[in-house]
Amino acid sequence: MSTMTEIAADPKPSADDIIQACLNLDSPRSFFLYAGAGSGKTHSLVVAVKSLKDRERERLTFEGRQIAIITYTNAACEEIARRLEHDPLVEVSTIHAFAWRMIKGFNDDIRDWLRIKLAEDIRELDDKLDRARGVNKTSRANQASRDSKARRLANLDDIPVFTYSPTGDNRTRQSLNHSEVIQMAAAFIPKSPLLDVMADRHPVLLIDESQDTNGALMNAFLQAQAAIPERFCLGLLGDTMQRIYNDGKVGLDNAIPTDWAKPEKRINRRCPTRVVELINKIRASVDDHEQIPKPGATRGTVRMFCTRRVAGADFNLEDQIAQRMGVITKDEQWSAGAKGRKTLILEHKMAGRRMGFEGVFSPLYEVEHLTTGLLDGTLPLLKLFFERVDPILEAWKADDFALMEAVRLRSPLLEPQHLQSVPNQLDVLESVGKATKALCGLFKDKDPLIEEVAQILFQTGLLALPERLVEALAQGATTDTPPETTDRDALEVHAYRIVLGRPYSEMAAFAGYANGLSPFDTHQGVKGLEFPRVMVVLNDEEAGGFLFSYEKLFGVVPASPNDVKNQLAGKDDALSRTRRLLYVTCSRAEESLAIVVYTAQPEVAKASAVKAGWLKEEEIAVL
């Protein structure tokens, strides 16, 4: 009897059994695994892949093929690869890295695609410029963009090989940007020759957090699977209620073909019973997926606190609420300060205000082309301080041996090639010692400015500085407003000049936050994570965004005509996005959950939560 027949004969096959049966290289079946919050999705993925590679190791090795896994973040890639013992039979990557691996080397196709795309963009910009009313900031930006694209189009034939880095700036003439790589992969994958190349390399492609995979690329994968179902297995894992990025495919669940397997993991192994009840209610108006608590789950505690108060500079209200949670739950950790809980906020700048790094974050965040590198920590400026300066300062607090080892691993002055090129290595070692002493000496009795730290690094050569930071250093720190220009380099240098004038403690605080060591995180940044005590802060005014609105979700502000229009059309709107975000944040709690709502009408918010069945009257306090 075949594996699929055995599964069919089993009255209640588990989700893991169904996936195992699907991963059959001779008779593959694609699948969508619905796995709600805390259901052990990653565990199922790892177990399935381990079983497949153990069964088919000899065949995959002989044919030179690999199982491919796509997941959302570099951290998730590393975790899955670690659980699979970094087996070369498995290729784990982010969506951008996978897309580039597929299209890399197809230089003629890339050039043809760019030629068409750039011409379309130029025509669109020409139309906007023709309709512009005079010269203003928008028209100047459009003209600069149009000129840049025209230059790039004219020089396409001079580029023999295109390059790309999933974590880099991609600013050279031959570089592709992140968006282009995704768009090209979406265009190329469903067609030959790339369709056959992908299937030949990867007979099985598993996509974790599939609901957040770029919509156009997800369509391409679905088309590819439909074209060659007998030799390509596509496995999607995720939960549509946890789609938090705007470019994910809307209505993914409805796009799954009827002949796919659709296993489901219903048990929430993370949250206490009360939290499971809450998140089931939050999603009840969206779909019919309902989780059940794990056997023996504790009851847990959920409370909501609604207030008119504006979040102040010291944010002491949140500390007071934590104290109250300590009394309610009889859990002293709630009262142990910010580090005793995980506080989830909507925007990074809200964490900046609470942790004291807003002064270095905001000027960088306001420069559009720096945003991606700022949020994922790959911005060269951040790598300088987070990965090189901070470890040296930490080693300085330990002992001299640790300090010199930290410097040896990071300073270009101590690289073997440099040491071999100098006439007197002892002089170099002495100069490195003096430079290290000067750097650490800045921190003995004060909190130096970032400019002071950068100056020592630049003057001594102890660490290499990014080119734009060197330019900023030459001009000096400033508090001036950004220049009226579309010049990317000028805007970047100006942002760095503002950062130079900030205390180094702000950069250190930002490093702790970016490295996940902070008691704060964003609503979007904690998907897949879990914490014993969670405080979710809802504050539309402080967040200052427009994509999400807790005031609308709680009925304090009516839905806009555009929201209603989108709802009727089955499209995303502020309410649906916000509901999903609330689901994700609340489902992080392992023991207890506090929801803090800053709102113009606390009583309305309370009544709305009670009417929806999310919480009971006695679980909500109006402050």
The per-residue pLDDT for range 197-228, each reduced to its tens digit, is 999 999 999 999 999 899 999 999 999 999 99
What are the pLDDT digits (tens) for 266-317? 999 999 999 999 999 999 999 989 999 999 999 999 999 999 877 655 678 9
pLDDT value at residue 138: 80
Give dist(CA 96, CA 269) in Å, integer.
Answer: 31
Q: Note the pLDDT tens digit of each residue in 581-618.
A: 999 999 999 999 999 999 999 999 999 999 999 999 99
Is the predicted pLDDT of residue 240 greater than 50, yes or no? yes
pLDDT bucket at 2, cuts 50 / 70 / 90: very low
Four-residue CA torsion sign, 81, 86, 92, 93: positive
Neighbours of 365 (CB within 10 A): 18
Confidence of residue 451 (pLDDT cuts 50, 70, 90): very high
What is the percentage of the chain residues whose pLDDT exceeds 70?
96
Whole-number average pLDDT of the chain: 91
Is the Cα dihedral 48, 52, 54, 60 positive or negative?
A: negative
State residue 74's pLDDT score.
80
Residue 505 — very low, low, confident or very high, per pLDDT cuts 50/70/90?
Answer: very high
Asked if the model's pLDDT at residue 7 lies above 60, the reply is: no
Average pLDDT over residues 458-481: 94
For the segment 546-550, the average pLDDT, to the nearest whole number, is 83
Higher pLDDT: 523 or 353? It is 353
Residue 5 has pLDDT above 60, yes or no: no
What is the per-residue pLDDT for 8? 47
Question: 402-444: per-residue pLDDT in tens?
Answer: 999 999 999 999 999 888 888 898 999 999 999 999 999 999 9
Write down the pLDDT at residue 73.
79
Domain 273-346+523-622 fold is Rossmann fold (3.40.50)
What does pTM read for this prediction?
Answer: 0.82
- pLDDT score recorded for residue 55: 94
Q: Which residue has the higher pLDDT, 181 or 400?
A: 181
How confident is residue 168, by pLDDT bands cut at 50, 70 and 90?
Answer: low
Q: Is 172 exposed, middle or buried (0-12, 13-18, 19+ CB in 10 A)?
A: exposed
DSSP 67: E
Mean local confidence (pLDDT), 143-170:
89
Model confidence band, residue 563 (pLDDT cutoffs 50, 70, 90) = confident
pLDDT value of residue 6? 46
DSSP-derived pairing of the beta strands 233-238 and 31-35:
parallel
pLDDT at 79 over 60: yes
CATH 3.40.50.300 fits 3-97+192-265, yes or no: yes
CATH topology of 3-97+192-265 equal to that of 273-346+523-622? yes
Counting residues of the chain whose pLDDT is more than 90, the rounded percentage is 71
Q: Once rounded to an integer, what is the mean pLDDT over residues 85-90?
A: 96
**Domain range annotation of the chain:** 3-97+192-265, 107-183, 273-346+523-622, 358-514
Partnered with residue 304 across adjacent β-strands are 595, 620
pLDDT at 10: 52
Residue type, 433: G
First to last CA, the chain: 65
**Residue 4 pLDDT level (bands cut at 50, 70, 90):** very low
Q: Given a cut of 50, is residue 1 above it in pLDDT?
A: no
pLDDT at 47: 95
- Nearest to residue 553, comparing CAs of 581, 523, 515, 514? 581
Q: Can you give the pLDDT at residue 169?
A: 65
CA atoms within 13 Å, Cβ hemisphere of 89:
19
CA angle 376/385/75 to nearest 5° reads 30
pLDDT beyond 80 at 157: yes
Task: Return the amino acid letter for 396.
Answer: W
